Chain A
Amino acid sequence: MIRVRYFASLRARLSRDSDSIENPLGAQTVAEVLASIEVPDGQTLLTLFESETLLLAVNHEMVSIDHPVTDGDEIGVFPPVTGG
């Protein structure tokens, strides 16, 4: 199981804060996981990532889209930060 968590404007847009992916197809990268997640407008999360500025983390570390994933990982997907 891979958990994908969404934050801020992305969470609001998807109307959910996370997805849990069983990963039956054996996705090996963040990109492959995002490609398996449907979002509104008939897109996948990967196409959304490719068209907008979104950041990625695996197990709380910032990563790139081709970062490897394994069962039990947590992926975070979120817009650029605006704290402070």
Chain B
Amino acid sequence: MYSRIQIQEVDFSVDDVLSELKRASGAVGGICTFTGCVRDLNDDETVTSLFLEHYPGMTEKQLAKILEAASARFSMLGVVVIHRVGLLTPGDNIVLVAVASEHRGEAFEACHFVMDYLKTQATFWKREQRGSGDGQWLSMRASDQVAQAVWEAGHDAKD
């Protein structure tokens, strides 16, 4: 299975990643992509910028483990994960997960799985700037933990 993990400051092109997956993964029947971007509002307050930090070395390892778990669970032909770090502004892309598979069902599910685990396992942190005040480090949302727990429960149910 083709896979690529990239952590970078610069923006990415979804079209380039689609071409990459088609070239690298034979017999592709579908590619599912998820792109996360910076919101301009959070808790009804205007967001002016978002700073993203990561733990170099560890983050790549965590992402590789997530892709390994996804490939053990779903039939994937290729997967690309790109996550940006540094200072971003509303509308900017943050993350791209793209999964190629023979059939759409596996691509949709694997993309969803990778994104849910990335939210709870990959060592990235966001500091949000609202208005002119000091930036505020965001807390993990309970719904993100629930989303991962649902996958784990589903896995246990199949055992």
Contact = CB atoms under 8 A, between A and B. Distances in A.
Given A84-B36, A84-B115, A84-B119, A79 B137 contact: yes
Interface in B65-110: 83, 94-95
A57 B83 CA distance: 21
Interface residues of A, number: 16
A54 B126 CA distance: 16
- With a 10 A CB-CB cut-off, give which of A8, A12, A61 has the most chain B CB atoms: A8
Interface residues of B, number: 26
Contact of A8 (B53, B57, B95): B53
Interface string A55-84: 001001100000000000000101111111
Given A83-B52, A83-B118, A84-B36, A8 B94 contact: no
Top 7 A-B pairs, shortest CB-CB distance: A83-B124, A8-B125, A9-B137, A60-B58, A80-B140, A84-B119, A82-B138
Interface of A: 5, 7-9, 12, 57, 60-61, 76, 78-84
